[in-house]
Amino acid sequence: MITIRKAKEGDIEIIRSIAANTWPSAYLEIIGQTQIDYMLEKMYNLAELLKQLMDGHTFLIAEDGEADAGFAGYSIINHDERIYKLHKLYVLPTAHGKGIGKILINEVFNQVKNLGASALQLNVNKHNKAKDFYLKGGFNIKESVVLDIGDGFVMDDYVMEYKF
């Protein structure tokens, strides 16, 4: 049985572990190991995740029985227009096919809708098959962006949006 719980500070290592175990299968063929290592260190170091938690990001952890299997993270990015952003959603490769990603995204939808969201946005790599998951879930491609993330690396993404 899949259950969802809100992450606390003590869960940051679980989030880091899931990201480290998920990114190679999600991104190796797209961006290579050097960029994966750089981005994991930049975006998933302990201080950065703590800062996000303190700044109001909500992290949800999916459990498959007793095992942590995936997580999602979101926050508000535009108070005036009530736009939220899904920053992260990853499910361990060993847990794919169990509907955990769908359960996580539905829980994010429910939570931001209850908070009065007008839209939920996300960035996804243009070559990541997750793009199809989001399109099937009702997101639309809003724009194409190339973001400089330092050290000569870029993120070549689609900004996708789901309107409530």
Residues 65-82 have pLDDT tens digits of: 999 999 999 999 999 999
Buried b (16+ CB within 10 A) or exposed e, 88-106: bbbbbeebeebebbebbbe
Angle at 57 between CA 39 and CA 23, to 5 degrees: 30
pLDDT confidence of residue 16: 98
Average pLDDT (147-160) is 97
pLDDT confidence of residue 54: 95
C-alpha torsion 8→13→17→18, nearest 10: 0
pLDDT confidence of residue 18: 98
Residues 114-141 have pLDDT tens digits of: 999 999 999 999 999 999 999 999 999 9
Residues 2-44 have pLDDT tens digits of: 999 999 999 999 999 999 999 999 999 999 999 999 999 999 9
pLDDT confidence of residue 150: 96
Domain parsing of the chain, residue ranges? 2-163
Quote the pTM value: 0.96
| CATH no., domain 2-163 | 3.40.630.30
Q: What are the DSSP calls for the chain, one per residue?
A: -EEEEE--GGGHHHHHHHHHHHHHHHHHHHHHHHHHHHHHHHHSSHHHHHHHHHTT-EEEEEEETTEEEEEEEEEEEETTTTEEEEEEEEE-GGGTTSSHHHHHHHHHHHHHHHTT-SEEEEEEETT-THHHHHHHTT-EEEEEEEEEEETTEEEEEEEEEEE-
Residues 94-114 have pLDDT tens digits of: 999 999 999 999 999 999 999
Instruction: Give the separation between CA 16 and CA 52, rounded to whole angstroms.
Output: 13
